[in-house]
Amino acid sequence: MKIIVFVKQVPDTDDVKLDPKTGNLCREGVKSMLNPLDANAVEAALQLRETHGGTVAAVTMGPPQAEEALKKALAMGCDEAYLLSDRAFGGADTLATSYVLSKAAEKIGGFDLLIFGRHAVDGDTAQTGPATAAFLDIPQVTLVSALEVEDGWARCERELGSVRQTVRVKLPAAVTVCGSINKPRYATPINIMRALKKPRTTWNAADLGCDTSRTGVPGSPSCTKRVFEPEKLSADTTYLSGSPSDMAKALVEALRDRHLI
């Protein structure tokens, strides 16, 4: 079984900073991490490999430092990794990103399953997995909380609020996974050392045969107009005293003063 898992390097959510002039996320000098749901995607791929055999390839798009996400995926157990890096990819929205990822999947070839995290914490669009599947014209299942493969079919359980839905889909297909699907394994010291010897490949736009009018800013019909930090409210604490009835009245009055009720 040949599985491709797509991962992304994102800013550490404990160290998010905004450029006050541009309103963009500051990525230089900011700690980064593997997108949490992508770790679930890697774990799902590794569990399928352990059951059915085969290989797991990790793929990411980004600048050279995005390779850190691939190192984590390799240390978790992926067999090989691909970095898609080119200045022509810069400024891509989800459509342009998905186009490049689909070209990488085509170049790797022979895949049975593509696995994505449901969304990335820095964008939260949940669009990249479905759009990549659309470019490749393969079936897709989103919000997957349990995944099994048998006889060329994938059996997926989906989380839809309080409802759970079971879907069977013919392979090759793409799925996006929720955090509840598993608990990602830790990268052990020995696997971290083994990861150093695993094959890593870098492809640019020419290697992938990309039409650069469909990548980066030219290929992105959407853009972020403005990002801003919410106003910080006072953290002062008001203590109420008196009888339960008096405290309840005082609380209601305070909420009315703040137009909360």
Q: What is the dihedral of CA 160, 10, 98, 92, to 10 degrees?
A: 130
Position 119 scores a pLDDT of 94
DSSP E strands in the chain: the ranges are 2-6, 9-11, 32-34, 55-61, 80-84, 113-117, 140-150, 153-160, 163-170, 173-177, 200-203
Burial 107-141 (b: 16+ CB within 10 A, else e): ebeebbbbbbbbbbbbbeebbbbbbbbebbebebb
> What long-range pairs does 18-21 form, CB within 8 A, spacing at least 24?
18/227, 18/228, 18/229
> Beta 140-150 vs 153-160: how paired, if at all?
antiparallel
**Architecture field, domain 2-214:** 3-Layer(aba) Sandwich (3.40)
Position 107 scores a pLDDT of 98
CB atoms within 10 A of CB 74: 26
Query: Looking at the predicted structure, is the pLDDT value of residue 16 above 70?
Result: no
Q: How many CA atoms lie within 13 A of 255 on its CB side?
A: 8
Q: What is the average pLDDT across 226-254?
A: 83
Residue ranges of domains in the chain? 2-214
Q: pLDDT tens digits for 85-103?
A: 999 999 999 999 999 999 9
65 secondary structure, DSSP code: G
Q: pLDDT tens digits for 184-233?
A: 999 999 999 999 999 999 999 999 999 999 999 999 999 877 777 777 66
Position 12 scores a pLDDT of 80
